[in-house]
Amino acid sequence: MNVLVTAGPTREAIDPVRYVSNRSSGRMGYAIAAAARAAGHAVRLVSGPVALAPPAGIRPIRVVSAADMLAAVKRNLRWCDLFVMAAAVADWRPRTVARRKLKKRAGPPRITWVPAPDILQAIAPLKRKAQFFCGFAAETHDLAREAQRKLREKHLDAIAANDVSQKNRGFESASNALTVYFASGRVERIGPAAKTQCARRLLRVLTAPEKTGKNPREKKLQKKSKNS
Ligand code: C5P
């Protein structure tokens, strides 16, 4: 199977030396890419700026901004059977990037923010029937409701939700706990466990036979997984 994964944060430039970003370490996405490769799949990893060594046998496609990540995802989308969007993409970017460094003595800059591209929403119309898309949702409250809303609004087949209000989970942590909601109604709980273990389990639930659901895309993916 061909697996496309995104990981890490994006950076949105303010001026030549400043940017806004977030606390994503990239660990979860890198662990998913490594687990997919270890399971014998072909893997492409689109990575925002992170301080991680590439997973064995994978040369990350490196990007900086949300716009860069969208372009890289579009270039690799047709190739994949399974797409896991684990990157923490910026929601907003400064409307313009100052060409020269903003001077401190000029006082706090007034920045006009505009939405960064929503990658999952932008690519939803490009999705082929046999492809399976899984997003992530990091939430501090109303985990189930928010994750299921994003599953619908972003036209996903599944979404892996994690509660980032808990210590030792999610952002910057080596461990995680996920609840995976499928469009079919299936729900799978993973962890708490090391991100490497969560990644292996996540891949398994995304590609393993479903006990109850009837989503034809999941079935197709499972067949492909068995054959690869
Ligand atoms: O809306 P929210 O950022 O919580 O949604 C999370 C999911 O959407 C993640 O899979 C994330 O990678 C994706 N996302 C995206 N483009 C954005 C923001 C988030 O594809 N601009």
Residue minimizing CA distance to atom 5 of ligand 1: 137
Percent of the chain surpassing pLDDT 90: 82
Q: What is the pLDDT of residue 213?
A: 47
Pull the structure tokens for residue 16.
């030549």
Residue minimizing CA distance to atom 6 of ligand 1: 137
87/30 Cα distance (integer angstroms) = 10
Cite the beta strand spans of 16-110 per DSSP E.
18-20, 42-47, 61-62, 82-85, 92-94
The verdict on the CB of residue 82 being under 6 Å from ligand 1 is no
pLDDT at 215 over 80: no
Task: Say whether 205 sits in a helix, a strand or coil.
Answer: helix
Query: Model confidence at 166, in pLDDT bands (50, 70, 90)?
Result: confident
2 forms beta bridges with 42
Residue ranges per structural domain of the chain: 2-227
Read off φ and ψ for residue 106, nearest 5 degrees: -80, -5
Residue minimizing CA distance to atom 13 of ligand 1: 120
The verdict on the CB of residue 136 being under 6 Å from ligand 1 is yes
**CA atoms lying within 13 Å on the CB side of residue 135:** 23
pLDDT at 31 over 90: yes
Mean pLDDT confidence for 84-111 = 96
Instruction: Tell which wins on pLDDT, 172 or 184.
Output: 184
How is domain 2-227 classified at the CATH fold level?
Rossmann fold (3.40.50)
pLDDT at 30 over 90: yes
The verdict on the CB of residue 89 being under 6 Å from ligand 1 is yes
Stretch among 29-33, 106-110, 194-198, 207-211 having the lowest mean pLDDT: 207-211
pTM > 0.85: yes or no: yes
CB 84 within 8 A of CB 4: yes
Query: Model confidence at 175, in pLDDT bands (50, 70, 90)?
Result: confident
Pull the structure tokens for residue 101.
């460094």
- Amino acid symbol at 114: V
157/140 Cα distance (integer angstroms) = 23
- Amino acid symbol at 227: N
pLDDT at 68 over 80: yes
Q: Among the atoms of ligand 1, which is closest to the Cα of residue 88?
A: 12
Task: Say whether 66 sits in a helix, a strand or coil.
Answer: helix
Summary mean pLDDT of the chain: 92
The verdict on the CB of residue 118 being under 6 Å from ligand 1 is yes
Mean pLDDT confidence for 42-54 = 98
Mean pLDDT confidence for 181-196 = 95
